[in-house]
Amino acid sequence: MKIYWYGDWHHTGYGRASRQFVRHLAVDKQHDVAVFAVNWYGHPYDRLRYPVEAWPVSNPYSDNDWLGREHMAKVVRADKPDVLIVLNDAFHFMGGLGVDLHEACLAAGTRLILSFPVDCYQVPASWLQFPKLADDAVVWNETARETIARTDPALAKRLRVVPLGIEPEWFQPTSSGIASNIRSQLIKGPKKYLVVCVNRNCARKDWARTLCVAAEVIRQRPEVAFYFHTQTIGAAYGQIMEPIHEMAETLGLTVGLDYDTLDSAPHNWHEVAMRGLYAAADVY
């Protein structure tokens, strides 16, 4: 069976999920698997662990399709895969882009599967256009299905719930010494407790609200420090980054005391060290 996967192929949350799903699809060698790799520009990856071909599709210089959706539709029409699996936000396929991909799958005889997150209280109806076009639409928990039911009860009834799962080889208990070392770097002065937030810096993560909550927590509990595992400088996968430091300063938060970020913290967080970060947190 020829299976094409569309999703992040980078060290994002979506990227981790894509790599694990794709690895399990390809490992038994019964399927011909290839990846439309979003937010990946050709740097090396472990081809023994992930025995698939990855094709860069992102174009951060494109005015209207930096995620490579139009290109994907053209390839589907030409290659006619048996299945196309999309793991991404449904709102990226609103309007003509979603319709065009749906029509490309129909023309190619390709089954279209969409796996998408729901991380808001009320889902706009326009975001649900593409899930309704998919042959199978998948959400990651029952809360997502219940949220969609407030907007579109009929769609909610046919949604499938498939959790993303975990990676026990990476995210596992770690020694108290590692956690203590991390806490000593992030908890300074009068601070006693550490709250950790791991999120990409982009508009959909609503950093303004996060920082407002952090400021209120510190106002009530000044012994709390926050660590925001996110970038505040550089490119953000084709999107404008939120000015975290400027917003934090406006709210009265002091970098290096009340909070740190990925670029201001003294620790260089390798992927392996993330398990220590989770262990170090009092609240995640």
HEC per residue, the chain: CEEEEEEECCCCHHHHHHHHHHHHHHCCCCCEEEEEEECCCCCCCCCCCCCCEEEECCCCCCCCCCCCHHHHHHHHHHHCCCEEEEECCHHHHCCHHHHHHHHHHHHHCCEEEEECCCCCCCCCHHHHHHHHHCCEEEECCHHHHHHHHCCCHHHHHHCEECCCCCCCCCCCCCCHHHHHHHHHHHCCCCCCEEEEEECCCCHHHCHHHHHHHHHHHHHHCCCEEEEEECCCCCCECCECCCCHHHHHHHCCCCECCCEEECCCCCCCCCHHHHHHHHHHCCEC
Which pLDDT value is given to residue 93? 94
pTM of the model: 0.83
pLDDT of residue 179: 84
Q: What is the pLDDT of residue 279?
A: 87
Q: Could you report the per-residue pLDDT of 143-154, keeping only the tens digit for each?
A: 999 999 999 999
Q: In the chain, which stretches have pLDDT less than 50?
A: 236-237
pLDDT at 105: 98
Question: Using one digit for the tens of pLDDT, what is the confidence trace for 38-76?
Answer: 988 888 888 888 899 999 988 767 667 888 898 899 999
